[in-house]
Structure 1
């Protein structure tokens, strides 16, 4: 028997100075404060506006020009997603970096050391979708680039991050500090909870958000379509290299991360072959597979890890990367 494969549903400057003793009108150099943000709101807003405008132009570029333009203004998870979208020609009209919008500064990293980060939000008036962007400068000579750009899920919010002038500390991927779990642990637990058909539940991380629900709905539809002719599995793997987090006012974190998802459909003994849907057959180069079809996607997520209670996902986006068949 030949079994059709249904298309997978898309889831959706405030520096103070210490004054030394005056000697004949000459003062000591001002002592640099490390307990404040390196940029004030106006400065951070100007940087964000410039970078986001440049990112819009980079996402609109094509071919070799796109690669150069994107690498100059994007990095980390944002660059990986942009490169995949450009390669496949699947940049959606609703992509948050497809048109310029006025940024609102949510937080600026604390202290004068590097890396330095700016967290901004934008609003797409047409869809009423809010997007969170992380701009990061890793060294004095490194310009700010967008490292993450993730649409927020409907009905979600980010808790207070403290005084903008004071800045919000950046948090290491493995730093638990005032939160129940570290950013990397939250992402790993979320990835485990999304697995199919055997999710691994973790009471410290919730998986009842809109994105997780959409994935479960998609998996159920896939399994129903395949019946006894094929098996479906889904594995999510977090990328530690792309983890970024800010400390919340309550001691928790708002964590940005990226997961790599592998959807695998494999034939059972009752099936002769898989019929590959058009969107994937173009990537694979054939319309049928005798053993399996594997689809790889990138999932950008934003999680809120409170000082008390379970972590929740407040933002998510996905981008298909590749498909292979055997």
Structure 2
């Protein structure tokens, strides 16, 4: 069984709340692609002795992951509640002979504020403690205390090492999980009561996704230090920061940190987008390369020297 989809007539009424799964009617997906195998074997990126393990990993269900919002005072309390009321109660539990893997903290994420778990929707429905955990995660996400985010998505903001005085540009920001993480870092690196000197400028080319960005990131993480704009990142305009009479003598905004999560072919999302196995072809990557390069180049042009 691969990752599952929702049958047509139930697709709208069974929307996932905040990314945490409800009990859907499950449909299997075919996770095979001769074109994918032929192309990547020809690249020689994966050693032949590791190929079977590589393909097997791509066919496994993607674990769920989430973060506790670290810049809020409640983070430590919330982490203790999560561990004592839920995770500790799940140790050694089995449901229909399937051993339950409780949420585990990601060892590389600061202060044990990020967790990963792998539980099927069927199992969640059949166990009281799991159901309570699910409801807890959904409620705290709606309150803005928890952010639903893929594990791999959490890494780039950490590498940026954001400080309160930094000017940060998120070039392709929607739907906003990394943006929210950057805002958290802006606030948590200094006095939690003080307004940071820096800010996050979040951009996306899609107008509709910009509205989603406002809802996902800024409404759940209100701050005076964030701004959402709607531009094509490949030709992002310069932002003037003084009153000079001519453009030649004007000063323009540059950034201390720039994040480019550029449009991609989706090859890395096979575990969560099973339809990609059926649709995949080599042109998916080649077709977006030019755009990727332009975004990266524009990002470097807007980065401050040093």
The alignment's TM-score, normalised by the length of structure 2, stands at 0.23
Q: 1 or 2, which has the higher strand percentage?
A: 1
Q: 1 or 2, which has the higher helix percentage?
A: 2
